[in-house]
Chain A
């Protein structure tokens, strides 16, 4: 056992003395949380738009002012011809153009009917959709104000409630996602590189002739990374509670234990990758392609899994991060207990055991 701890210490010193790597291991989750929490949102606001007003009367000016006053739009340009619309879009300046035909107010007040054209840059379909919806709502409000708010008969009122996240903050879904990403990265990628590195440089030979059992050597290599991951989890949780105001609604003990379980899954994957790779470069790229991207894509925090084509939906099931994400979301945000996540936990446990089993069987004591 003493020998074992000496190996853990050796590995720890490797990490501790490589200050650049350590620096990044510690700062990566922090920077990610801050970026995801503050900088990145899918909400559309301050979209720059242009106006082509051929009437320039009281009605159009009022509507333009109301559009400009909302937090979604910023009118940055007045156009003077149809051709200018295309040119401005091509320069990438605006997202939406609002076109008023001539005699807008006259038509509106005398014929009771007037038209507005909204031209959206639909190269980004979601933003285009959202912007036309917002603009239409503002125009309808104006129309309503002309009608002096007469109540229409037979009206259905829909009361809307947003559960768990009433302000629709993106950080609620990003925090669990970043946890999955960071743990995968630190544990799996870093351990696989650390093991393969000893192979590539040749020091593995020295270690393998030591009296310690080979598998213990590998475990000793993973323990310091487990420690770094636990530190990372603590940082992420502290930041999300105190800086991003994302609450931990469920049990902290459950959340941390599930995270440690996921960390062990990730470590097992790291060992498995290191078995197959001969050079650090191939270990890095295998980890990047088989871990980072699937975690980003299939955990469900950036892109909804239900919208994917069915073969990808099936693939998503073998990605451990998907199950971990569901667990964190349920425990942390929804505040549910173990009864709600036992199935996902069981899946992770089985995955871990299978992965560990395969990597132990394939671990080679002899160098080729």
Chain B
């Protein structure tokens, strides 16, 4: 036990005496947590709209005003012909074209039906999908007002009507940072947990100081614990800082208990640190170790459901996510913080993460050799 104490003392001194590590450990995650959720916003606003109005009627004018005043669209281009509007899409000045044909008003009032033409720049699928859905909704509403003006509706519904009522639970204001902040916090902690311990060991290898440890009577379990514990503590401190930022800056107050978050995080960090250790036992240089860690963590983060929903993935990709510790943590964070899930609700995830902990650490200890 005394050996472990000295090892811990050594590690903490090394960490605190290197200002660059300290900067990267604390300041970087905090800055990221302040910037990332603002940038990682899928909410689509300010869609640039090009209008080609061949009709120039009162009706087309009302429609255009209605679309612009909805708040989703910005009128950036008012072209005389469609090819001209298309050019503004090519140059990225507009995202969406609304073409109002000749005689739009006349067709609608006299012939009872009229056409509109909408073209969207669909290179970014979500943006095109949501943008065209918004504009269609506005057109429908407009259609409804026109209809109301011309027809006197009877007091009772002449036809069976289903009224759909919506409730948005857990995040009624549709606040996007509520969804992203817990996930981003997981990503940051994962990067710290997997990278620092690994780099630390490989640095000793590369600089040759590991030789001294190898010839000492320190048992390999102690050596590994000595590397694990400091970063485990630091990562929990970063988690705490992150939760405080989430509360103070983004006003995210977990519905579940903080204790649930900490219990899960403590186990999860052991798994991730174990993964880092495992990678470090294979790497010879810091460059290698960093690149391998980066590669693995990148795949873990992409396949975690942080940016894109897991249910939408094809089956084989969903199977991969079962072997991804990050996906469990993100799920748990969102469940506890936003929906108030308790330990009983997340027991499957806890068992999975315990499994990862045993697997990664066991393999790392087996693979760590005192001989080079």
Q: Is the CB–CB distance between B90 and A120 below 8 Å? A: no
Among the listed B32, B165, B311, which residue makes an inter-chain contact with A293, where contact means beta carbons less than 8 Å apart?
Answer: B32
Q: Is the CB–CB distance between B287 and A21 below 8 Å? A: yes
CB-based closest 3 A-B pairs: A122-B168, A39-B317, A168-B125
Q: How far is the CA of A47 from the CA of B310 in the complex (A)?
A: 10
Q: How far is the CA of A91 from the CA of B341 in the complex (A)?
A: 7
Q: Is the CB–CB distance between B46 and A306 below 8 Å? A: yes
Q: How far is the CA of A279 from the CA of B156 in the complex (A)?
A: 78
- Chain B contributes a number of interface residues (CB within 8 A of A) equal to 113
Closest chain-B Cβ to A274's Cβ sits at a distance in Å of 13
Q: Is the CB–CB distance between A281 and B199 below 8 Å? A: yes
Q: How far is the CA of A143 from the CA of B151 in the complex (A)?
A: 21
Q: Is the CB–CB distance between A156 and B312 below 8 Å? A: no
Which A-chain residue is minimally distant from B171 (CB atoms)? A122
Q: Is the CB–CB distance between A154 and B312 below 8 Å? A: no
Mark the stretch among B142-150, B211-219, B265-273, B357-365 that contacts chain A.
B142-150
A229 touches B (CB below 8 Å): no
B249 touches A (CB below 8 Å): no
Which B-chain residue is minimally distant from A159 (CB atoms)? B117
Which chain A residues (38-63) contact chain B, with CB distance < 8 Å?
38-48
B258 touches A (CB below 8 Å): no
When distances are taken between beta carbons in the complex, the residues of chain A under 8 Å from B165 are 115-118
Q: Is the CB–CB distance between B121 and A163 below 8 Å? A: yes
Q: Is the CB–CB distance between B287 and A193 below 8 Å? A: yes
When distances are taken between beta carbons in the complex, the residues of chain A under 8 Å from B295 are 24, 27-28, 31
Q: How far is the CA of A205 from the CA of B332 in the complex (A)?
A: 51
Q: How far is the CA of A156 from the CA of B32 in the complex (A)?
A: 47
Residue contacts A-B, CB under 8 angstroms, 5 given: A42-B126, A42-B309, A159-B117, A164-B122, A312-B39
Q: How far is the CA of A197 from the CA of B309 in the complex (A)?
A: 39
Q: Is the CB–CB distance between B108 and A154 below 8 Å? A: yes
A199 touches B (CB below 8 Å): no
Q: Which of A40, A152, A293, A334 has the most CB of B within 10 A?
A: A40
Supplied contacts A20-B288, A46-B311, A116-B162, 13 more A-B pairs, CB within 8 Å: A36-B302, A117-B164, A118-B167, A123-B170, A133-B133, A140-B162, A153-B151, A172-B125, A280-B290, A282-B24, A307-B45, A312-B39, A330-B90
Q: Is the CB–CB distance between B313 and A41 below 8 Å? A: yes
A89 touches B (CB below 8 Å): yes
When distances are taken between beta carbons in the complex, the residues of chain A under 8 Å from B163 are 113-116
B307 touches A (CB below 8 Å): yes
B237 touches A (CB below 8 Å): no
When distances are taken between beta carbons in the complex, the residues of chain B under 8 Å from A163 are 86, 89, 119-122
Which A-chain residue is minimally distant from B36 (CB atoms)? A297
Q: Is the CB–CB distance between A164 and B125 below 8 Å? A: no
Q: Is the CB–CB distance between A168 and B122 below 8 Å? A: yes
A13 touches B (CB below 8 Å): no
Q: How far is the CA of A133 from the CA of B133 in the complex (A)?
A: 9
Q: How far is the CA of A35 from the CA of B39 in the complex (A)?
A: 23
B58 touches A (CB below 8 Å): no
Q: How far is the CA of A46 from the CA of B312 in the complex (A)?
A: 7
Q: How far is the CA of A128 from the CA of B119 in the complex (A)?
A: 25
- Chain A contributes a number of interface residues (CB within 8 A of B) equal to 111
Q: Is the CB–CB distance between A112 and B161 below 8 Å? A: yes
Task: Digitize B67-93: 1 where CB-to-A-CB distance is under 8 Å, 0 elsewhere.
Answer: 000000000000000000010011110
Q: How far is the CA of A281 from the CA of B24 in the complex (A)?
A: 10
When distances are taken between beta carbons in the complex, the residues of chain A under 8 Å from B253 are none
* Total residue contacts A-B, CB cutoff 8 A: 329
B113 touches A (CB below 8 Å): yes
When distances are taken between beta carbons in the complex, the residues of chain A under 8 Å from B170 are 89, 121-123
Q: How far is the CA of A279 from the CA of B308 in the complex (A)?
A: 36
When distances are taken between beta carbons in the complex, the residues of chain B under 8 Å from A190 are 287
Which chain A residues (155-192) contact chain B, with CB distance < 8 Å?
155-166, 168-170, 172-173, 190
Which chain B residues (166-196) contact chain A, with CB distance < 8 Å?
166-172, 174-176, 178-179
Known contacts A155-B112, A303-B42, A334-B90; A20 and B292 CB within 8 A of each other: yes
Which B-chain residue is minimally distant from A34 (CB atoms)? B317
Q: Is the CB–CB distance between A146 and B302 below 8 Å? A: no
Closest chain-B Cβ to A83's Cβ sits at a distance in Å of 13
Q: Which of A119, A126, A139 has the most CB of B within 10 A?
A: A126
Closest chain-B Cβ to A14's Cβ sits at a distance in Å of 10
Q: Which of B113, B123, B172, B282 has the most CB of A within 10 A?
A: B123
Q: Is the CB–CB distance between A164 and B39 below 8 Å? A: no
A147 touches B (CB below 8 Å): yes
A211 touches B (CB below 8 Å): no
Q: How far is the CA of A155 from the CA of B237 in the complex (A)?
A: 61
Known contacts A147-B159, A154-B112; A120 and B166 CB within 8 A of each other: yes
When distances are taken between beta carbons in the complex, the residues of chain A under 8 Å from B38 are 308-309, 312
Closest chain-A Cβ to B134's Cβ sits at a distance in Å of 11
Task: Digitize A281-306: 1 where CB-to-B-CB distance is under 8 Å, 0 elsewhere.
Answer: 11011001100010001100111101
Known contacts A117-B167, A285-B28; A18 and B288 CB within 8 A of each other: yes
Q: Is the CB–CB distance between B32 and A89 below 8 Å? A: no
Q: How far is the CA of A340 from the CA of B109 in the complex (A)?
A: 42
Closest chain-A Cβ to B13's Cβ sits at a distance in Å of 17
Q: Is the CB–CB distance between A44 and B312 below 8 Å? A: yes
Q: Is the CB–CB distance between A123 and B339 below 8 Å? A: yes
When distances are taken between beta carbons in the complex, the residues of chain B under 8 Å from A143 are 160-162
Q: How far is the CA of A121 from the CA of B13 in the complex (A)?
A: 47
Q: Is the CB–CB distance between A160 and B118 below 8 Å? A: yes
Which A-chain residue is minimally distant from B335 (CB atoms)? A92
Q: Which of A108, A123, A173 has the most CB of B within 10 A?
A: A123
Closest chain-A Cβ to B173's Cβ sits at a distance in Å of 9
B136 touches A (CB below 8 Å): yes
B152 touches A (CB below 8 Å): no
When distances are taken between beta carbons in the complex, the residues of chain B under 8 Å from A298 are 39
B35 touches A (CB below 8 Å): yes
Among the listed A45, A288, A297, A306, which residue makes an inter-chain contact with B40, where contact means beta carbons less than 8 Å apart?
Answer: A297
B230 touches A (CB below 8 Å): no
Q: How far is the CA of A170 from the CA of B317 in the complex (A)?
A: 16
